[in-house]
Structure 1
Amino acid sequence: MNASDRTPADLLRSALAADPARPLVTFYDDATGERVELSVATFANWVAKTANLLQGDLAAAPGDRLALLLPAHWQSAVWLLAASSVGVTVEVGGDPADADLVVSGPDTLEAARACSGERVALALRPLGGRFPQPPAGFADYAVEVPGQGDRFAPYAPVDPDAPALAVGGLELTGVQLVGRARADAAELGLAPGSRLLSGRAYDSWDGLSAGLFAPLVAGGSVVLCRNLGELSQEGLDKRVESERVTNTAV
């Protein structure tokens, strides 16, 4: 990645310019058997569409705070980068009552109703499927995002020194986030082309870093595994081999 990258959105732009066809996020849910692989280009397209939804339909602006109530999932990673593209601060597991908008999975809808702003729900079904019945009071992400534009331009420049992420009592600006991700990538031994398998949850900085930011800053990719405890050691060994994993964080 470029030394001048100062926000997560900058990191994604650099990855797209360097090699759009390489894998970036390979997601497994070992409770359902789901596997999804997204190249840099495909992931960036999801991010652009989501950022357009966030900025346009949801009227989010730099400085707004988004409560993200989602597990480790490829769509969660998309929302983290989309918020960075707009300049919205993501509060992972944040209190919806204190947030300007909320993004919720199917298991946290009741808690998400405390948000008085815009509410978006994700079914987290395979292939990004929609809810069979849209939850009342929520926009269904799978319904709203496909029609959004494939290119994104923020209405206002994103300040890299503004808060970008809050998780587990830690709040980071864009610059601080990128700096910590660089340090983590070095500690994990990541280099361009590395494939990091992460079974960590997205409820801590360590989980978010291993599951997205450190591989992204290193020019590598992540094999993101939800419900990894469902997998046997033999199954894990086979995955490490088949996915050409070079590093692990479990």
Structure 2
Amino acid sequence: MNAAPRTPAALLNAALAADPGRPLVTFYDDSTGERVELSVATFSNWVAKTANLLQGDLGAEPGDRLALLLPAHWQSAVWLLACSAVGVVADVGGDAGAADVVVSGPESLDAARACSGERVALALRPLGGRFPQVPSGFVDYAVEVPGQGDRFAPFAPVDPDTLALVVAGAEWTGAEVVEKAAGDAEGLGLVGPGSRLLSGLPYGSWRGLSAGLYAPLATGGSVVLCPRLDQVGEEALAKRIEAERVTATAR
């Protein structure tokens, strides 16, 4: 009998083995009209490529700290799982000056320049588009990630009992993230496999991360990420909930 998953990356591997074709992350950007839906298989492929970039090209090792300066976004979710796969500590909204690697969106580039290590920039454009011009001192994620391998294997086993996630001043190991996410499920309305949670919460808190990724992953559910719900009227939101077959919401 296989042991129960004890890291977020192991949860993703288990989901991939169980049902690779089901939806996992659906993302809406209501400022651009973008909608992206990623199955477990597609999301896992992005995670593998990103983990290979992180471990190989960026030289990150278990225990290194990555400052994740990104909003709630499907690519942010990919980076969180890639960190778990490599054993890198994901410090959400963390101090770039204290990080070994920084991953930044277009609005936080100035803060990200405090990192003396590797710097990665994401344009966060529809369809994962590139920057028109790569920001000075950064590599463009959209340029670097497509050529990475579709399978990932860590150079060293990831210890689930080491630090994995930092957000809003709180710290958790990989095993604690898994346990806490599963414990959140009932309160978020995730009643089991097939549950579909619409989250409008930012990623700058545990609740936002749990609703927007970890709890659906831990329970065989899926998430509809809508970080700009302030731009959606109640009637349009009701239609989206119906169209996406949402079973619970977190706002």
Same fold, judged at TM 0.5 (above): yes
Are 1:87 and 2:87 matched, yes or no?
A: yes
Distance 1:29 1:47 in 2: 21
Kept in 1: contact 2:189–2:247 (CA 8 A): no
Trace 1:11-90 onto structure 2 (pairs within 5 A): 11-90=11-90
Distance 2:3 2:158 in 1: 18
Kept in 2: contact 1:68–1:103 (CA 8 A): yes
Distance 1:160 1:3 in 2: 13
Distance 1:193 1:12 in 2: 15
Trace 1:142-221 onto structure 2 (pairs within 5 A): 142-190=142-190, 191-221=192-222
Kept in 1: contact 2:26–2:36 (CA 8 A): yes
* Cα RMSD, aligned residues only: 0.8
Distance 2:183 2:30 in 1: 30
Distance 1:249 1:15 in 2: 23
Q: Counterpart of 1:181 in 2: which secondary structure?
A: helix
What is the aligned residue count? 249
C-alpha displacement of 1:186: 2.4
Distance 2:27 2:158 in 1: 29
The AA in structure 2 aligned to 1:57 is D
Gaps of 5+ in 2: none
Q: Counterpart of 1:160 in 2: which secondary structure?
A: coil
Which residue of the partner structure matches residue 99 of structure 2?
99
Which residue of the partner structure matches residue 244 of structure 2?
243
Which residue of the partner structure matches residue 226 of structure 1?
227
Kept in 2: contact 1:29–1:228 (CA 8 A): no
C-alpha displacement of 1:70: 0.0
Kept in 1: contact 2:66–2:103 (CA 8 A): yes
Distance 2:116 2:234 in 1: 45
Are 1:138 and 2:138 matched, yes or no?
A: yes
The AA in structure 1 aligned to 2:63 is G
Distance 1:142 1:15 in 2: 26
Distance 1:138 1:189 in 2: 40
The AA in structure 2 aligned to 1:222 is V
Gaps of 5+ in 1: none
Q: Counterpart of 2:12 in 1: which secondary structure?
A: helix
Please list every run of at least 4 consecutive aligned residues from structure 1 whose deviation after the TM superposition is greater than 4 angstroms: none
TM-score by length of 2: 0.98
Distance 1:148 1:200 in 2: 31
Distance 1:31 1:218 in 2: 30
Percent identity between matched residues is 75
Q: Counterpart of 2:226 in 1: which secondary structure?
A: strand
